[in-house]
Amino acid sequence: MQLTLEFGGGLELLCESVKIHKVNVDPPNGAEKFIMKDLLSWVHTNLIKERPEMFMKGDSVRPGVLVLVNDCDWELSGQLDTTLEDKDVVVFISTLHGG
Amino acid sequence: METNGGGGGSAADVSRILSELETLKTAKSDIECRISALEAQLRDSTITTTKNIEDKNDTVSNGSCPLISAVHSNINHDLTPDSVYRYSRHLLLPSFGVQGQSNLLKSSILVIGAGGLGSPALLYLAACGVGRLGIVDHDVVELNNMHRQIIHTEAYIGQPKVKSAAATCRSINSTIQIVEYQEALRTSNALEILSQYDIVVDATDNAPSRYMISDCCVVLGKPLVSGAALGLEGQLTVYNYNGGPCYRCLFPTPPPTSACQRCSDSGVLGVVPGIIGCLQALEAIKIAGAVGEPLSGRMLLFDALSARIRIVKIRGRSSQCEVCGENSAFTQQQFKNFDYEKFTQAPLSTLPVKLNLLPADSRISSKEYKEKIDNGEAHVLVDVRPAHHFKIVSLPNSINIPLASLEVRLPEISEALKEEDNSGSGASLYVVCRRGNDSQRAVQCLQKMGFDSARDIIGGLESWGHDVDPNFPTY
């Protein structure tokens, strides 16, 4: 299935300064659905080119990163267990502190 | 003057008269403005004083603008005639109107930070007629602030931002109360200051301040309009409003310090915090005026480069939140004792950190480096700043190898050292960066890779500009 991934708030620097990625992913072997947990490990392997610790901590995103699935906080859809569907838009954004 | 009485009058006369008329008319309008401002000030100050003084005042301002106009017209609100005129364009808005303006005039808003976000926020909040406007900032105005901190003028460089911002606000609207807090916000003074306001605007620039202000708003029950900007992006939301989430509901664990970039390191396009600051003013005005739907439970994400604004739904108040959650017992006393710098591993002030990673014999001062150049010592100078920094300014004959690519580009350093080594006794290797932190990291790496003689220049290019060459541009 096709997903649109967007990185912002400085996270794009971890993937060669490209903010928007159109990607094709498939459920891992034997699984019926593709969940956020699968996506994080896919992103970690395929898109993050440097300092992975700035993106992940354990099996989730590091503190200070908001994850939005179709413009909605992933906290409201089940976090790592959120099921993704074709054409979904997933945004990873680092919180800013400057002013 | 000789032709003054002449009936006909030459073309020069006409032009002189016209110009004098123009000057007088300008002066007249200035004086009228001043009179109306003073009358408004007088009226405001007499409202709270005794009847005795009020009676006297009646005779004083017995001029073009009568105090008790309600006698002659039917007015069901507390706006003065001057306020009606000044805010007329607000009053004409059906969805804002007299009620919205009246609410605004009775409200109090505290803006923390008079920088990139605070500048436009304060300008609009002063102009729109917030009754009492507080400004907190401990910093002074610097030349490199001017491109985005538009409330300040060049004349105030070196002076406290609070003083400068307050003066501009007063010059825009002399009828509102402006309160200056020329101090850094700390847990020791935050409760005292924030408790005096209805709404708080977070226009600060660092993580510990953001946690501190949010927590303080929770214990005091104040809505918080929070904005942030960096580079070409901005973010905006309203916390702790009407049962909505607080900053900690969203970010229970502070981010690593390496993820907290500052404008002074990463840069910021001036208009970006300008836009977010304006939106902060808007949200504060909506809450104060009790109109519309404040941006609570939602977050606005602004990407200037691609011209995209996205408004996303964020989580509600977390029952597990350590500060605002159901079982939280975060009290004012706990707030006072909380160490926000320790919690976030970051300083509340934005002073750049000064690392000290190397022994003294692995470092030289910028003055010593100057002597080495003057003595013609064979050496290589590696500048480890990012390439776009190197483009701003660099020392002559330095080679740019950014820290991130240092390890893969070691052969270039070996090559350069060989080339410089004319006498056969070896060339020295020096490393420089902007402030002298990355240069130490680079020396650590170089020494590990066998470049034992690598040394860094203490304080970097900043100290070169300070101690050696005052004409060297700093940024």
DSSP letter string over B184-249?
---HHHHHHHHTT-SEEEE---SHHHHHHHHHHHHHHT--EEEEEEEBTEEEEEEESSTT---HHH
Q: Are B319 and B184 in contact (CB under 8 A)?
A: no
Asked whether residue A83 is domain-assigned, the answer is: yes
- Sorted by sequence, the CB contacts under 8 Å of residue B265 that are 6+ apart come out as B352
Q: Are B110 and B136 in contact (CB under 8 A)?
A: yes
Which of B275, B309, B312, B349 is best to mutate for the A interface (most A CBs within 10 A)?
Answer: B312
- What is the per-residue burial (b if ≥16 Cβ within 10 Å, else e) of B379-413? bbbbbbbeeebbeeebbeebebbbbeebeeebeeb
What is d(CA A54, CA A44) in angstroms, rounded to the nearest whole number? 11
- The encoded tokens of residue B130 equal 């917030």
Q: Are B141 and B157 in contact (CB under 8 A)?
A: yes
In which element (H, E) is residue B303 found?
strand B298-303
Question: Phi, psi (5° rounding) for residue B432?
Answer: -135, 155
In which element (H, E) is residue B180 found?
strand B177-181
- The encoded tokens of residue B303 equal 């990407």
Q: Are A27 and A33 in contact (CB under 8 A)?
A: yes
With tokens 């096709």, the residue in question is A2
- The encoded tokens of residue B42 equal 């007088």
Nearest Cα residue in chain A from B404: A50
- The encoded tokens of residue B376 equal 């013609």
Task: Clarify whether B169 is annotated catalytic.
Answer: no
Asked whether residue A16 is domain-assigned, the answer is: yes
Asked whether residue A49 is domain-assigned, the answer is: yes
Which of A56, A93, A95 is best to mutate for the B interface (most B CBs within 10 A)?
Answer: A95
- Measure B467 CA to nearest chain A CA, in Å: 30
Quote the number of domains for chain A: 1
In which element (H, E) is residue B363 found?
strand B363-364
Asked whether residue A60 is domain-assigned, the answer is: yes
Asked whether residue A85 is domain-assigned, the answer is: yes
Q: Which of B217, B260, B433, B445 is catalytic?
A: B433
Q: Are B134 and B153 in contact (CB under 8 A)?
A: no
- The verdict on whether residue B246 carries a ligand-binding annotation is yes
Question: Phi, psi (5° rounding) for residue B382?
Answer: -105, 125
Asked whether residue A99 is domain-assigned, the answer is: no
Asked whether residue A30 is domain-assigned, the answer is: yes
Query: What is residue B11's three-state secondary structure?
Result: helix
Give the pLDDT of chain B (475 residues) as one tens digit per residue.
444 444 445 777 888 888 888 888 888 878 877 877 787 677 666 544 444 444 444 444 443 444 444 456 777 888 999 999 999 999 999 999 999 999 999 999 999 999 999 999 999 999 999 999 999 999 999 999 999 999 999 999 999 999 999 999 999 999 999 999 999 999 999 999 999 999 999 999 999 999 999 999 999 999 999 999 999 999 999 999 999 999 999 999 999 888 778 778 889 999 999 999 999 999 999 999 999 999 999 999 999 999 999 999 999 999 999 999 988 889 999 999 999 999 999 888 766 778 899 999 999 999 999 999 999 999 999 999 999 999 999 999 999 999 989 999 999 999 999 999 877 788 999 999 999 999 999 999 999 999 999 999 999 999 999 999 999 998 9
Which residue segment(s) compose the domain that A56 sits in? 2-94
Q: Which pairs count as long-range contacts for B65-74, CB under 8 Å and 24+ apart, including other chains?
A: B65/B36, B65/B39, B67/B43
- The encoded tokens of residue A19 equal 């903010």
A10 close contact with B: CB closer than 8 A: yes
Taking the alpha carbons of B443, B447, B448, B449 in that order, is the dihedral positive or negative? positive
What is d(CA B124, CA B168) in angstroms, rounded to the nearest whole number? 11
Residue-wise DSSP of B408-470: GGHHHHHHHHHHH-SSSS--EEEEE-SSSSHHHHHHHHHHHTT-TT-EEETTHHHHIIIII-T
Partners of residue A64 in chain B, C-beta under 8 Å: 251, 253-256, 259-260
What is d(CA A65, CA B251) in angstroms, rounded to the nearest whole number? 8
For chain A, the maximum distance between any two Cα atoms, rounded to a whole number of angstroms, is 48
CATH number of the domain bearing residue A59: 3.10.20.30
